[in-house]
């Protein structure tokens, strides 16, 4: 599958060929930290949205001199790359109050390694009519800042077109996930994750064309077989393809997830033809499957995990939490309770941003799969 090879390559390096070509055309790149930040606004302003991730970082000596060892290694890795100039290809940066680690990271970046344009969004911690009004005002300020910086008015027509393009991405990714419901899907969880990484690192029009080609190519692909159990991954920010590969090398097959680099990224479409596109964005982004920062959304979050586990016929759930991730630490207790009630086995794993202790993690995964597996 040639499209798969291209997508895997485009999403596996920093900044990546697509970003370099974009920059070569004299256009701007805006990094963003969280799935609650609408890419559509950045795209409508003529810039390329790029999800910030410190691909390949394995140590943080510079960041450790500023951030505490009790900060997660994702936040420290981002600071490390910023201090080393690895993020210099980003012309702008937008962050939000996703968690305390990222909130304070923004302050440090603004002081130590300021981009040409920086913006902070205050995203509500709940979804309600009042919260939508609040977030719409925040998006209006974000839009005004982009317009002033880029000298490019973000008209409603441009914003609606950006929404339509992003909705096409969502539609195609939903089709990709439908393939994973099969007993023997054509793509592994590792391959699907590679496809998802590319979505956050290239122009959406180009991505949609490649993804559409990939979906056509899967029709002639040999189905996967021989796995021990169908797995679902949930928990902290997760973009580590090597971790997914480890689970599948141990005999599992990852068929579903509830992750911000996975289903939560594209599950909720945006109304493209509404009276006010900013309100449509605020409403849809607050309505997407929630992460642990949305404390009031816990019942809906559990319902989403349960329904996805049922639809994808999951044999076991991998709950992975980045070390010192406060939000997901509290979530783990509830998850351990409800998964027992559902009758779905769950393996809890604590990890760093980069893959460490791979041997021990694989042994735990193999033992879990042996207990729940269907047999090869």
Q: What is the DSSP string of 11-34?
A: TSSSS-HHHHHHHHTT--EEEE--
Which one of 140, 157, 174 terminates a domain? 157
Token pair, residue 124, equals: 């509500």
**Cβ count near 149 (within 10 Å):** 18
The total domain count for the chain is 2
The domain spanning residue 15 has which CATH number? Answer: 3.40.50.11890
Does residue 213 sit in the same domain as residue 267? Answer: yes
Mark whether 174 and 136 lie in a shared domain. no
Q: Does residue 210 sit in the same domain as residue 351?
A: yes
The residues, ordered by sequence, that sit 6+ positions from 116 with a Cβ below 8 Å of its Cβ are 91, 92, 149
Domain span holding position 31: 2-157
- The first and second tokens of residue 280, run together, are 């449509």
Where do the DSSP E strands lie in the chain? 29-32, 48-51, 92-96, 117-121, 229-235, 252-258, 316-322, 346-351
pLDDT of the chain along its 376 residues, tens only? 799 999 999 998 899 999 999 999 999 999 999 999 999 999 999 999 999 999 999 999 999 999 999 999 999 999 999 999 999 999 999 999 999 999 999 999 999 887 789 999 999 999 999 999 999 999 999 999 999 999 999 999 999 999 999 999 999 999 999 999 999 999 999 999 999 999 999 999 999 999 999 999 998 889 999 999 999 999 999 998 999 999 999 999 999 999 999 999 999 999 999 889 999 999 999 999 999 999 889 999 999 999 999 999 999 999 999 999 988 988 888 899 999 999 999 999 999 999 988 999 999 999 999 999 765 4
Q: Tell me, what DSSP letter sits at residue 160?
A: H
Do 163 and 152 lie in one domain? The reply is: no
Domain boundary among 157, 175, 196: 157
Q: Clarify whether residues 209 and 137 are in a common domain.
A: no
Tokens found for residue 329: 């630490």
Both structure tokens of 31: 């990094």
Q: Respond yes or no on whether the N-terminal peptide bond of residue 15 is cis (omega within 30° of 0).
A: yes
In 3D space, the residue among 57, 54, 51 whose CA is nearest the CA of residue 29 turns out to be 51
User: Is residue 163 located within the same domain as residue 150?
Assistant: no
Q: Do residues 125 and 169 both lie within one domain?
A: no
Same domain for 219 and 149, yes or no, is no
Same domain, yes or no, for 79 and 179?
A: no
- CATH number for the domain that contains residue 335: 3.40.50.11900
Same domain, 233 and 363: yes
Same domain, 182 and 116: no
CB 139 within 8 A of CB 151: no
Question: Tokens for 102?
Answer: 């990222």
153 & 228 share domain: no
Q: Which of 129, 157, 185 is the last residue of a domain?
A: 157
Q: Give me the residues paired with residue 51 across strands.
A: 32
């Amino acid at each position: 599958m040639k499209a798969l090879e291209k997508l895997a390559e485009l999403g596996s390096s920093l900044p990546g060929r697509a970003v370099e070509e974009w920059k070569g055309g004299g256009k701007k790149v805006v990094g963003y930290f969280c799935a609650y930040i609408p890419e559509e606004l950045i795209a409508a302003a003529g810039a390329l949205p790029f999800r910030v991730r410190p691909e390949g970082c394995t140590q943080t000596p510079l960041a450790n001199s500023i951030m505490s060892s009790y900060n997660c290694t994702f936040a420290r890795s981002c600071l490390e790359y910023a201090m080393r100039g690895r993020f210099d290809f980003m012309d702008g940066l937008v962050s939000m109050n996703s968690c305390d680690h990222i909130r304070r990271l923004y302050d440090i970046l603004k002081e130590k390694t300021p981009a040409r344009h920086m913006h902070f969004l205050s995203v509500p911690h709940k979804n309600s009519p009042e919260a939508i009004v609040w977030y719409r005002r925040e998006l209006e300020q974000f839009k005004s800042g982009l317009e002033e910086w880029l000298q490019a008015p973000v008209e409603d027509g441009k914003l609606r077109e950006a929404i339509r393009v992003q909705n096409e991405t969502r539609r195609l990714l939903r089709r990709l996930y439908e393939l994973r419901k099969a007993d023997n899907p054509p793509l592994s969880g590792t391959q699907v994750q590679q496809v998802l990484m590319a979505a956050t690192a290239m122009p959406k029009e180009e991505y949609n064309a490649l993804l559409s080609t990939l979906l056509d190519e899967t029709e002639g692909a040999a189905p996967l077989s021989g796995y021990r159990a169908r797995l679902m991954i949930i928990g902290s920010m997760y973009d580590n393809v090597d971790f997914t590969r480890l689970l599948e090398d141990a005999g599992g097959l990852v068929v579903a997830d509830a992750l911000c680099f996975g289903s939560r990224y594209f599950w909720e479409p945006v109304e493209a033809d509404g009276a006010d596109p900013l309100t449509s964005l605020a409403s849809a982004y607050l309505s997407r499957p929630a992460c642990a920062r949305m404390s009031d959304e816990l019942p809906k979050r559990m319902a989403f995990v349960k329904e996805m586990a049922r639809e994808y016929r999951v044999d076991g759930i991998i709950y992975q939490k980045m070390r010192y991730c406060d939000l997901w630490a509290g979530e783990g207790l509830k998850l351990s309770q409800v998964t027992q009630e559902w009758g779905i086995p769950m393996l809890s794993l604590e990890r760093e941003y980069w893959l460490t202790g791979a041997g021990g993690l694989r042994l735990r995964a193999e033992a879990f799969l042996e207990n729940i597996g269907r047999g090869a």
